[in-house]
Amino acid sequence: MEQLGVTLFSYLWINQELDGPMNKKTLLMAVTFALAHIAIVAPFVPLANILPAGFGALSMSSMALTLILAARWRIVDRIMGGPDKSYGAHRWLGFFALGGALAHWALASSVGAGVLPDLAETGEEVGNIAATGLIVLSAAAMVKVIPYHLWKASHMLMGPVFLLAAYHTFFVASPLAVGAAPWTLMAVVSVVGLIAWGQTLLRKVAPTRLVTVEQATPFDGGVDVTLRSETALPAFQPGQFATIAHNCARAEAHPFTIAGGDDTSRRFVIRSAGDWTEQFVNSVKPGDQFRLGRGVGRFLPQGDGARKEQLWVAGGVGITPFLAALGRMQPDNGARVTLIYCIRSTETAGVLNDIERHADRLPQLDLIVLSDGRNEGLNPDRLSDIVRAMSQDAQVYLCGPEGLKNMVTQVWETIGMTGRVHSERFDFRGAFGLTDLIYIGKPVLDAARDLAARAKGSSHAPTRS
């Protein structure tokens, strides 16, 4: 059982790394995660069955972990570093589940007797159905043009697919002996995965409160809205987000960063970025009622007097977590906070006046507003000058487009800053796309180019007579 505990802990640790673009570190973690399954089953099956058994174990454990992450257990979110990191790991585990299933399907053959020999044939048939379902649902997840509500409904079928895969795992003719360590490990993760799926079906995603729109101020491309509750709302920390849903049965809940609020109110600055937000921005008005979720997330800019020096970088509506943090800050003589606010224009920056007002009252805040409309976009040279003036252990908080976050991270690492980089990803649909495939394929293409270059160089090398 100690081996099982260490293995499950390793799964969570590895999955925490698999969030965001595939780089050398995450690629190494991905390979380690896959090879660990092969290493676990290798001592217990014949040589010819090591790969199919290992890939089958990889697919099963990955599917189980996706269900565990989808259940949104608080302890798991805390271990992962926040709900966004859980969603990121969920995405990559989907690749592992699909890749493992395809490899297992291609290589596996009936060997052994299984738990109940009479069910071995149906176990194989059920496995084919599960693999087909996994392929279809994964393909649906890769097509972002599918409307959100249809994708969400189809994604809920992953639970039944996992149930079929579990039936296949334990009843098909298998070289794994019942009670062997890999068999026991698969049993444990399967049971926990099924419990997580059951909880996801039976419970509400999160407790919600009925709130009424108190104020809705439109700006170019968005709306600044304040929601009020008749009773006290659960406390939140600046930087957290909450879900908003229409006050009707089976309404879709969408996450938005909290821009501020008090005991009974929450403020959100929402930009039109899809069907739901476009409808919300164009139609919301005072008196409308919605369901509001509790504040969650681990992106927490530090505003108290004991903080380290910080760089806050916001792009567009990404200013909202910093707006909430500024609302709680009091004037002090603590470490400096530099806020770079990148906007397209003053018309699209719905909260610019609020930010400037906070800058006037907070002596510890240095505000830099860069407008594309005035040809003031943030570039690596300008950012480098700002960063070099900061202490080496300063921390950076990023909220905005991925391109902006990637540029800041690269400059931060190039200069050699030792402080941590904090950011969150808000692609909660988690659909796979060409970008993800490029991240996965790029290291392979780079390695192939290096080999080709070395081969070409050796072919032109001078020879001695």
CATH number of domain containing 274? 2.40.30.10
Distance CA 135, CA 132 (A): 5
Q: What pLDDT was estimated at residue 383? A: 94
Burial environment of residue 343 by CB neighbours within 10 A (0 to 12, 13 to 18, 19 or more): buried
Question: Which helix (H) or strand (E) element contains residue 280?
Answer: helix 275-283
- The answer to whether residue 257 sits within a structural domain is yes
Question: Is the same domain home to 161 and 220?
Answer: no
- The answer to whether residue 411 sits within a structural domain is yes
Question: Is the same domain home to 153 and 282?
Answer: no
Q: What is the DSSP string of 86-122?
A: HHHHHHHHHHHHHHHHHHHHHH----S--SSGGGHHH
Name which of 184, 180, 166 is nearest 43 in CA terms: 180
- The answer to whether residue 452 sits within a structural domain is no
Question: Is the same domain home to 235 and 316?
Answer: no
Angle formed at CA 277 by CA 271 and CA 280, multiple of 5 degrees: 105
Question: Is the same domain home to 128 and 192?
Answer: yes
**Would you put residue 260 in left (φ > 0), alpha (ψ -120 to 50) or beta?**
left
Question: Which helix (H) or strand (E) element contains residue 67?
Answer: helix 50-70
pLDDT truncated to tens, each residue of the chain (465 aa)?
334 343 443 444 444 444 444 556 777 778 888 888 888 888 888 888 888 888 888 998 889 888 888 877 778 777 777 666 777 778 788 888 888 888 888 887 766 666 676 776 787 888 888 888 888 888 777 776 676 667 777 778 888 898 888 888 887 767 776 778 888 888 888 888 888 888 777 765 556 899 999 999 999 889 999 999 999 999 999 999 999 999 987 777 888 999 999 999 999 999 988 788 999 999 999 999 999 998 888 889 998 888 999 999 999 889 999 999 999 999 999 999 999 999 988 887 889 999 999 999 999 999 999 988 788 889 999 999 999 999 999 999 999 888 898 899 999 999 999 999 988 765 555 444 444 444 445 555 666 666 667 766 655 544 443
- Asked if 384 and 416 count as a contact pair (C-beta separation under 8 A), the reply is no
Question: Which helix (H) or strand (E) element contains residue 337?
Answer: strand 337-343
CA distance to 77, 224, 239, 341, 369, per residue, from 425 (Å): 14, 22, 13, 18, 23
Q: Work out whether strand 337-343 and strand 365-371 pair parallel, antiparallel, or are unpaired.
A: parallel
- The answer to whether residue 437 sits within a structural domain is no
Question: Is the same domain home to 56 and 153?
Answer: yes
Q: Which of 260, 293, 326 is the last residue of a domain?
A: 293
Q: What pLDDT was estimated at residue 445? A: 60
Q: Which of 202, 224, 251 is the last residue of a domain?
A: 202
- The answer to whether residue 341 sits within a structural domain is yes
- The answer to whether residue 430 sits within a structural domain is no
Distance CA 173, CA 190 (A): 18
Task: Classify the C-alpha dihedral 129-130-134-135 as positive or negative.
Answer: negative
Question: Is the same domain home to 43 and 188?
Answer: yes
Residue 397 sits in a domain whose CATH number is 3.40.50.80
pTM: 0.67
Question: Is the same domain home to 193 and 334?
Answer: no
Q: What pLDDT was estimated at residue 16? A: 41
Determine phi and psi for 243, rounding to 5 degrees: -95, 145
Q: Which range of residues forms the domain containing residue 142?
A: 2-202
Tell me, rounded to whole angstroms, the distance of Cα 381 from its chain centroid.
30
Question: Is the same domain home to 44 and 94?
Answer: yes
Q: What pLDDT was estimated at residue 398? A: 93
Question: Is the same domain home to 337 and 222?
Answer: no
Question: Is the same domain home to 316 and 363?
Answer: yes
Question: Is the same domain home to 195 and 218?
Answer: no
Q: What pLDDT was estimated at residue 12? A: 41
Question: Residue 216, CB half-sphere, CA atoms under 13 Å: how many?
Answer: 16
Distance CA 192, CA 178 (A): 19
Distance CA 398, CA 404 (A): 8
Return the residue matching tokens 């909260």.
351
Total structural domains in the chain?
Answer: 3
- Asked if 41 and 60 count as a contact pair (C-beta separation under 8 A), the reply is no
- The answer to whether residue 450 sits within a structural domain is no
- Asked if 112 and 176 count as a contact pair (C-beta separation under 8 A), the reply is yes
Q: What pLDDT was estimated at residue 84? A: 66
Question: Is the same domain home to 138 and 84?
Answer: yes
Using DSSP's 3-state secondary structure scheme, residue 32 falls into helix
- The answer to whether residue 451 sits within a structural domain is no
Q: Work out whether strand 395-399 and strand 310-315 pair parallel, antiparallel, or are unpaired.
A: parallel
Cα Rg of the chain, angstroms: 25
- Asked if 422 and 395 count as a contact pair (C-beta separation under 8 A), the reply is yes
Q: Which of 148, 168, 202 is the last residue of a domain?
A: 202
Q: What pLDDT was estimated at residue 124? A: 80
